[in-house]
């Protein structure tokens, strides 16, 4: 079952394929200069398939990166010339070299942007002289990346499986799903990621809720948090945005 044509979300805030590639390299806990192309390409293609299933705009940019990874993988599978035989200069170049160089440059800019964002958030939390400091609360949660949401959503779909109870599909605009999410967060303050989805709903409603969640992340109206790696993901409103 596919979503209606009006389910679209602008991926600009997600920084595109390079952001996903950097995320996958970090998740694999490998040196960025020694990318395991076969493993990363497989994971990247899995994300592309999910993007296509969600009918998200700009998926073509992800297909370009997927094609690049597959091209590098193919070049690395080509047998090397036996010792003593002449090799072209092009054959001696690691096919990953250009991609690694671009990824390192991207990481440098991205880290600088995250540093500045962190300083801004840190300054916003400071109190002027004479102001009362807030009471110490629970352990602060770490804000996670949007790709962690894709991973959690993929696991959710596998858990629901093909045996999900089906109901008559109602093609709602994304704004309707956004309104429901915001109302629930206003009431509860914070919700577990899985609690936003009704396992008995049809697949269109589940996917519609997830796309609405991505749109709210893009707009900066909500944030996804995690206490520890592989821990439960919680969603909360950005009060400053509200």
Domain containing residue 173: CATH number: 1.10.10.580
Residues 6+ apart with CB under 8 A from 11: 56, 57, 58, 61, 218
Query: What's the rounded mean pLDDT across residues 82-110?
Result: 75
Work out the pLDDT band at 182, boundaries 50, 70, 90.
Answer: very high
Write out the residue range of the structural domain in which residue 203 sits: 139-242
Tokens linked to 11: 């991926």
Please check whether residues 87 and 165 belong to one and the same domain.
no
116 and 185 both lie in a single domain: no
Of all residues in the chain, what percent carry a pLDDT higher than 70? 70
The number of folded domains in the chain is 2
More confident residue, 11 or 132: 132
132 and 169 together in one domain: no
Mean pLDDT of 65-71: 89
CB 47 within 8 A of CB 62: yes
Q: Are residues 203 and 186 in the same domain?
A: yes
Listed residue (175, 160, 165) closest to 208, CA to CA: 175
Shared-domain flag, residues 74 and 106: yes
- pLDDT, average across residues 111-128: 74
Give the residue, 242 or 142, on which the prediction is more confident: 142
Which two three-digit tokens encode residue 226?
């995690």
Q: pLDDT higher for 167 or 13?
A: 13
**Segment among 60-64, 95-99, 122-126, 133-137 with least mean pLDDT:** 133-137
Query: 180 with 125, same domain?
Result: no
Same domain as 239, residue 164: yes
- Position 35 scores a pLDDT of 86
**Per-residue pLDDT at 7:** 47
Q: Give residue 37's Cα distance to chain centre.
A: 20
Q: Residue range 115-132: average pLDDT?
A: 67
* 131 and 237 belong to one structural domain: no
Do 112 and 57 sit in the same domain of this protein?
yes
- Do 46 and 133 belong together in one domain? yes
Instruction: Tell me how long the chain is.
Output: 242
Instruction: State the pLDDT at residue 75.
Output: 86
Last residue of a domain, one of 137, 163, 184: 137
Q: Look at residue 138 in the predicted model and tell me its pLDDT.
A: 45
pLDDT at position 202: 78
Domain end call among 137, 164, 182:
137
Q: Which pLDDT value is given to residue 119? A: 80
Question: Can you tell me the distance from the alpha carbon of 55 to that of 207, in angstroms, rounded to the nearest whole number?
Answer: 10
Residue 106 has pLDDT above 90, yes or no: no
Residues 156-166, mean pLDDT to the nearest whole number: 61
**Do both 6 and 95 map to the same domain?**
yes
| pLDDT of 235 above 50 | yes
Structure confidence at residue 63 as a pLDDT band (50, 70, 90) = confident
Say whether both 86 and 111 belong to one domain: yes
Q: Is pLDDT at 194 greater than 80 in this prediction? A: yes
Domain boundary (110, 137, 164) is at 137
């Amino acid at each position: 079952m596919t979503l209606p044509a009006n389910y679209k979300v602008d991926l600009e805030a997600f920084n595109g394929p390079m952001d996903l590639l950097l995320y996958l390299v970090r998740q694999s806990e490998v040196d960025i200069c020694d990318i395991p192309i076969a493993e990363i390409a497989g994971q990247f293609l899995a994300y592309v398939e999910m993007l296509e299933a969600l009918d998200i705009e700009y998926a073509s940019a992800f297909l370009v990166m997927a094609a690049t990874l597959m091209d590098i993988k193919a070049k690395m599978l080509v047998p090397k010339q036996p010792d003593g035989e002449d090799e072209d200069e092009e054959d001696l170049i690691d096919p990953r070299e250009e991609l690694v160089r671009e990824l390192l440059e991207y990481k440098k800019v991205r880290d600088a942007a995250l540093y500045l964002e962190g300083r801004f958030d840190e300054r916003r939390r400071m109190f002027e002289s004479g102001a009362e400091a807030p009471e110490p609360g629970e352990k602060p949660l770490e804000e996670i990346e949007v790709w962690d949401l894709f991973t959690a959503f993929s696991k959710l779909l596998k858990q629901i499986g093909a045996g999900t109870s089906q109901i008559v599909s109602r093609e709602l605009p994304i704004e309707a799903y956004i309104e429901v999410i915001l109302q629930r967060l206003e009431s509860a303050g914070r919700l577990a990621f899985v609690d936003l989805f009704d396992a008995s709903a049809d697949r269109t409603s589940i996917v519609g809720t997830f796309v609405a969640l991505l749109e709210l992340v893009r707009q900066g109206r909500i944030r996804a948090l995690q206490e520890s790696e592989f821990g439960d993901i919680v969603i909360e409103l950005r009060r400053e945005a509200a």
